[in-house]
Amino acid sequence: MGAGTTVKSAIPFLDLVAQHRSLEDELVAAFRRALQTAGFVGGPEVAAFESELAAFVGSAGAVAVNSGTDALRFAYMALGIDPGDEVITVPNTFIATTEALTQAGATLRFVDVTEGTLTMDPAAVAAAIGPRTVGLVPVHLYGQPADMDPLLALARQHGLWVVEDAAQAHGAAYRGRPAGSLGSLAAFSFYPGKNLGACGEGGAVVGNESSHLDAVRRLREHGQSRKYYHETEGYNGRLDAIQAAFLRVKLRHLPAWNAARRRVAEWYADALADIADIRLPMVAPYATPVWHLFVIEAERRDALKSCLDSQGIGTGLHYPLPLHLQNAYRHLGLVRGAFPVTEQSAERILSLPMYPELTQPQVSQVADAIRAFYRG
């Protein structure tokens, strides 16, 4: 290779191997502990993780469950949904936010998001609240909290519960208050690719009201209040002890990982600032995001994505088709045009590689590839 040639290697969208290499000894030790005690479901590792997570979020308690989807489901059910009750949420989220709502018996009421932040628009919520509305589910999308104060004010005024979908926002803050500590309950996911990820499935509900947390605890364990005494039917929604042990190891690193993600976001912002064909992610003045994803809005998005993919630069779309336009929700009768901000962003968004181990040269390589694409 001649002088002046730069070596470009592939940049994956997400690199969990790098993270696990550095934690291998601690993770293997946690696994060995579980084998030696044969405690595989629930038990002291889960209880310890729950206290550590509650302390991290600044909430009174946490209940660990086996996925973020179950965390949402149990939170909704604990707060109460009767037939005909409406719950307001956004169409630009992962379907877990809404499928657990419908399955818990709610009628979905979508509202559009605010341009730029792409999180729940409080003015749209105010217009959508009706006599059957019982709850709001804002999503802290890409690691940036929704604009919670006006949403909480509306909830108070109308007697609604609020479940934060914090699956992408471990460690984020809204006006200095931790994401997950703001609503009636909050749901976290520990799917491997999240900022705090298990080596498998996992989730948790956090909150301050012990009656709500007790209800979640019963739901994850077949509705039982004590062994073999069932207040209601429930679910098998428990977290594995091994996953709790892994999560305890990783939770200790989360603040440093989030700081590293912030650094990566700053590098991107600097490196991409001169490219007029893209729009950088907007950080709201109230938000301290944790950059679960770094999402730009781009002209000729699909062509840009193919160009980056062909150079081994991994990208993603979060999400390519808004929920109200999915076949699963065709019966709601919502057509294109119903939620213009969501729909227009879906055509332009592009998630760039984002993880704590990304280096500044890698960020420059991504930026150079984007710049070269627009220069043709």
| Residues at the site binding ligand PLP, with contacts judged by CB under 6 A | 67-69, 93-94, 96-97, 139, 165, 167-168, 189, 191, 203
Q: Which residue is nearest to ligand PLP (CB)?
A: 68
Residue nearer to ligand PLP on the CB measure, 203 or 207 = 203
**H or E segment to which residue 372 belongs:** helix 360-375
The residues near 276 (Cβ < 8 Å, ≥ 6 apart) are 374
Least Cα distance to 75 among 199, 189, 194, 224 occurs for 189
Q: Which two tokens stand for residue 37?
A: 């005690």
* H helix intervals, 159-253: 210-219, 241-251
Strand intervals (E) in the chain: 61-65, 86-89, 107-110, 133-137, 161-165, 173-174, 177-178, 185-189, 203-207, 224-226, 229-230, 278-279, 287-288, 294-298, 349-352
Query: To the nearest whole angstrom, how small is the minimum distance from the Cβ of residue 300 to ligand PLP?
Result: 27
Tokens 């609604």 belong to 160
Residue nearer to ligand PLP on the CB measure, 96 or 264 = 96
Query: To the nearest whole angstrom, how small is the minimum distance from the Cβ of residue 111 to ligand PLP?
Result: 16
Residue nearer to ligand PLP on the CB measure, 68 or 322 = 68
Query: To the nearest whole angstrom, how small is the minimum distance from the Cβ of residue 67 to ligand PLP?
Result: 4
Neighbours of 10 (CB within 10 A): 10
DSSP state string for 71-131:
HHHHHHHHH---TT-EEEE-SSS-THHHHHHHHTTPEEEE--B-TTT-SB-HHHHHHH--T
Query: To the nearest whole angstrom, how small is the minimum distance from the Cβ of residue 205 to ligand PLP?
Result: 12
Separation between Cα atoms, residue 196 and residue 192, nearest integer Å? 8
Query: To the nearest whole angstrom, how small is the minimum distance from the Cβ of residue 26 to ligand PLP?
Result: 23
Residue nearer to ligand PLP on the CB measure, 67 or 362 = 67
Query: To the nearest whole angstrom, how small is the minimum distance from the Cβ of residue 139 to ligand PLP?
Result: 5
Residue nearer to ligand PLP on the CB measure, 67 or 258 = 67
Residue nearer to ligand PLP on the CB measure, 94 or 373 = 94
Q: Residue 52's Cα: distance from chain center in Å?
A: 19
Query: To the nearest whole angstrom, how small is the minimum distance from the Cβ of residue 277 to ligand PLP?
Result: 28
Residue nearer to ligand PLP on the CB measure, 69 or 117 = 69
